[in-house]
């Protein structure tokens, strides 16, 4: 075990950081640091953080700070946080900020960034992502913010310092910290440790997860540390779930049952996606299933599909993966029958939420921004 000389900050009790891999953490292709305090006594890798969003009002009770971890095994084709799906570093290329200065082309080792002749005597920057090796050299030299890296390397102490800086707001508003992503259960050992450290300060902890097929043994240790499990239920139709989300539904339902049995505090999120789960039959399935568990649920938040992720797919050069360009958002009244049905089925707290869990949008959808930023 190689011990890295990193003194803990005086007030947080952060540990010595060691470079050693936890035998039970998820295999991830990044994570420069590890620390030695997960339950097994082994060390865990720290995932990249895409953003720490403060004063969030919609991903749990009160004022919250949400930590977005990078890495998710699912690929929901409507996902508004595509930058959190891959575990490794990426970069945005915001074409509307590019002045074709060519600095990136000068340092690019593969020719992915090239200055080409444009109209008249001008030159135009062309980015060919198929040649890109994500070395991030262009990000380092770009002066306009056109290249913008996604994924911060942070130590546990740095994350804690950031999320605990708003402790008074949490206390006064009944808020706390939400661990989201990506998916926090993709990094179970790290999530456990982060939750433990936050809990030690008496701060409310929520996790926002798809509860994707994870062994219950992995989720179970979180019970004593997590005050609220916000579980996303993308469809109750087994075929559609498997075909579209890429994972079977049953293990997710099993985990929800386990959480219920363990008397965990659970809110269910339902993203209502046009053409996927917005038919009367889909609504009936949700109402029947969740109605059966009404007494054990804290509530249900209905998240009407929105298009705020569009611009990010473009800026990441992943527009081919997004199948919802041009798909209109549902009018709010579309989800009212679902909300009413859930209330009638006995769910006491039903909300029609909006931007739950979305990260700050520097990459507004071209529909909103009126720009076409195509890499
Ligand atoms: C980005 S996810 C991160 C946490 C976890 N991976 C999950 O799926 O719950 C946070 C929330 O955003 C919702 N969401 C993702 N894309 C959306 C979209 N285009 N419109 C509305 N809600 C969306 C998800 O359903 C989930 O409730
Ligand atoms: S991406 Fe940045 S460095 Fe490259 S040409 Fe555009 S402005 Fe210059
Ligand atoms: S990240 Fe890609 S485009 Fe940028 S310098 Fe490296 S290879 Fe070139
Ligand atoms: S599970 Fe969550 S983060 Fe992962 S792709 Fe789906 S919506 Fe996005």
Give residue 192's pLDDT: 94
Give residue 247's pLDDT: 86
Is the distance from the beta carbon of residue 66 to the nearest atom of ligand 1 less than 6 Å? no
Residue from 124, 146, 317 whose mutation best tests the ligand 2 pocket (most atoms within 8 A of CB): 146
Give the span between the Cα atoms of 277 and 44, in whole angstroms: 37
Is pLDDT at 185 greater than 90 in this prediction? yes
Of 11-25, 88-102, 272-286, 318-332, the poorest mean pLDDT is in 11-25
Q: Which of 230, 344, 225 is nearest to 298 (CA)?
A: 230
Q: How many residues does the chain have?
A: 375
111 C-alpha to center of ligand 1: Å? 36
Q: Whose CA is nearest to atom 4 of ligand 2?
A: 104
What number does the ligand 2 atom closest to the CA of 99 have? 7
Query: CA 250, 69, 319, 283 torsion: positive or negative?
Result: positive
Q: How confident is the model at residue 33 (pLDDT cuts 50, 70, 90)?
A: very low
354 C-alpha to center of ligand 4: Å? 16
Is the distance from the beta carbon of residue 105 to the nearest atom of ligand 3 less than 6 Å? no
Is the distance from the beta carbon of residue 299 to the nearest atom of ligand 2 less than 6 Å? no
Is the distance from the beta carbon of residue 110 to the nearest atom of ligand 3 less than 6 Å? yes
User: Pairing mode, if any, of strands 266-272 and 299-304?
Assistant: parallel
Instruction: Give 293-310 pLDDT, tens digit per residue.
Output: 999 999 999 999 999 899
Mean pLDDT, rounded, for 345-364 = 64
Of 186-195, 294-303, 324-333, the poorest mean pLDDT is in 324-333
107 C-alpha to center of ligand 2: Å? 11
Percentage of the chain beyond pLDDT 90 is: 68
User: Pairing mode, if any, of strands 49-56 and 64-69?
Assistant: antiparallel
Give the span between the Cα atoms of 127 and 125, in whole angstroms: 7
Give the span between the Cα atoms of 25 and 214, in whole angstroms: 12
216 C-alpha to center of ligand 4: Å? 20
Is the distance from the beta carbon of residue 352 to the nearest atom of ligand 3 less than 6 Å? no
Instruction: Name the more confident of 274 and 356.
Output: 274
Ligand nearest to the CA of 357: 1
Is the distance from the beta carbon of residue 235 to the nearest atom of ligand 1 less than 6 Å? no
Q: How confident is the model at residue 43 (pLDDT cuts 50, 70, 90)?
A: low
Give the span between the Cα atoms of 123 and 126, in whole angstroms: 10
Give residue 375's pLDDT: 24
Q: Is the ipTM of this complex over 0.90?
A: yes
Give residue 44's pLDDT: 66
Of 42-46, 64-68, 315-319, the poorest mean pLDDT is in 42-46
Q: Are 257 and 295 in contact (CB under 8 A)?
A: no
340 C-alpha to center of ligand 4: Å? 26
The residue with tokens 């919802």 is 324
Is pLDDT at 72 greater than 70 in this prediction? yes
Give residue 251's pLDDT: 92
Percentage of the chain beyond pLDDT 70 is: 82
Give residue 77's pLDDT: 93
SS (H, E, C) the chain: CEEECCCCCCCCCCCCEEECCCCCCCCCCCCCCEECCCCCCCCEECCCEEEEEEEECCCCCCCEEEEEECCCCCCCCCCCCHHHCCCCCEEEECHHHCCCCCHHHHHCCCCCEEEEECCCCCEEEEECHHHCCCCCHHHHHCCCCCEEEECECCCHHHHHHHHHCCHHHHHHHCCEEEEEECCHHHCHHHHHHHHHHHHHCCCEEEEEECCCCCCHHHHHHHHHCCCEEEEECCCCCHHHHHHHHCCCCHHHHHHHHHHHHCCCCEEEEEEECCCCCCCHHHHHHHHHHHHHCHHHCCEEEEEECCCCCHHHHHHCCCHHHCCCCCCCCCCHHHHHHHHHHHHHCCCCCEEEECCCCCCCCCCCCHHHHCCCCCC
Q: How confident is the model at residue 224 (pLDDT cuts 50, 70, 90)?
A: very high
132 C-alpha to center of ligand 2: Å? 15
Give the span between the Cα atoms of 151 and 140, in whole angstroms: 14
Instruction: Name the more confident of 158 and 367.
Output: 158
Is the distance from the beta carbon of residue 305 to the nearest atom of ligand 1 less than 6 Å? yes
Give residue 17's pLDDT: 34
Is pLDDT at 59 greater than 90 in this prediction? no
Instruction: Name the more confident of 319 and 8.
Output: 319
**pLDDT, the chain, mean:** 84
Mean pLDDT, rounded, for 232-243 = 96
Is pLDDT at 149 greater than 90 in this prediction? yes
Is the distance from the beta carbon of residue 135 to the nearest atom of ligand 3 less than 6 Å? yes
- What is the residue extent of each domain of the chain? 44-86+152-369, 99-143
Q: Are 51 and 68 in contact (CB under 8 A)?
A: yes
Give residue 330's pLDDT: 85
Query: Counting beta carbons within 10 angstroms of the beta carbon of residue 226, is it exposed (0 to 12), middle (13 to 18) or buried (19 or more)?
Result: buried
Domain 99-143 architecture = 2-Layer Sandwich (3.30)
Instruction: Give 92-114 pLDDT, tens digit per residue.
Output: 999 999 999 999 999 999 999 99
373 C-alpha to center of ligand 2: Å? 14
Does the bond joining 182 to the residue before it have cis omega, within 30 degrees of 0?
yes
Q: Whose CA is nearest to atom 6 of ligand 3?
A: 135
Q: Whose CA is nearest to atom 8 of ligand 2?
A: 101
Q: Are 61 and 204 in contact (CB under 8 A)?
A: yes
Is pLDDT at 13 greater than 90 in this prediction? no
Instruction: Name the more confident of 19 and 359.
Output: 359
Ligand nearest to the CA of 138: 3
209 C-alpha to center of ligand 1: Å? 9
Return the CATH fold of 44-86+152-369.
Answer: TIM Barrel (3.20.20)
Model confidence, pTM: 0.86
Is pLDDT at 34 greater than 80 in this prediction? no
Is pLDDT at 255 greater than 80 in this prediction? yes
């Amino acid at each position: 075990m190689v011990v890295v000389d990193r003194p803990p900050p005086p007030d947080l009790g952060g540990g010595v950081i060691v470079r050693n891999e936890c035998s039970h953490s998820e295999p991830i292709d990044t994570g420069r640091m590890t620390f030695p305090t997960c339950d097994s006594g082994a060390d865990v890798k720290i995932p990249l953080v895409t953003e720490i969003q403060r004063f969030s009002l919609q991903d749990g009770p009160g004022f919250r700070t949400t930590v977005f971890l990078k890495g998710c095994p699912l690929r929901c084709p409507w996902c508004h946080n595509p930058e959190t799906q891959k575990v490794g570093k990426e970069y945005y290329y915001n074409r509307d900020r590019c002045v074709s200065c060519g600095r990136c082309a000068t340092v690019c080792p593969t020719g992915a960034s090239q200055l080409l002749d444009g109209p008249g005597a001008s030159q135009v920057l062309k980015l060919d992502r198929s040649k890109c090796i994500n070395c991030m050299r262009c990000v380092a030299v770009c002066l306009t913010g056109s290249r913008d890296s996604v994924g911060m390397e942070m130590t546990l102490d740095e994350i804690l310092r950031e999320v605990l800086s708003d402790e008074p707001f949490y206390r006064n508003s009944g808020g706390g910290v939400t661990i989201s992503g990506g998916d926090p259960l993709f990094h179970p050992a790290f999530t456990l440790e982060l939750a433990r450290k936050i809990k030690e300060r008496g701060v409310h902890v929520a996790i926002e997860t798809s509860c994707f097929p994870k062994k219950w043994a992995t989720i179970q240790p979180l019970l004593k540390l997590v005050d609220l499990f916000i579980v996303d239920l993308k469809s109750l139709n087994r075929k559609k779930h498997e075909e579209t989300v890429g994972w079977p539904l049953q293990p997710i339902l099993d985990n929800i049952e386990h959480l219920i049995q363990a008397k965990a505090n659970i809110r269910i999120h339902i993203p209502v996606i046009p053409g996927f789960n917005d038919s009367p039959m889909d609504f009936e399935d949700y109402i029947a299933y969740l109605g059966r568990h009404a007494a054990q649920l804290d509530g249900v938040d209905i998240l009407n599909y929105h298009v705020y992720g569009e611009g990010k797919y473009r800026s990441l050069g992943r527009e081919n993966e997004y199948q919802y360009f041009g798909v209109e958002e549902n009018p709010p009244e579309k989800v009212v029958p679902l909300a009413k049905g859930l209330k009638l089925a006995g769910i006491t707290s039903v909300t029609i939420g909006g931007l739950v869990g979305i990260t700050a949008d520097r990459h507004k959808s071209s529909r909103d921004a009126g720009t076409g930023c195509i890499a």
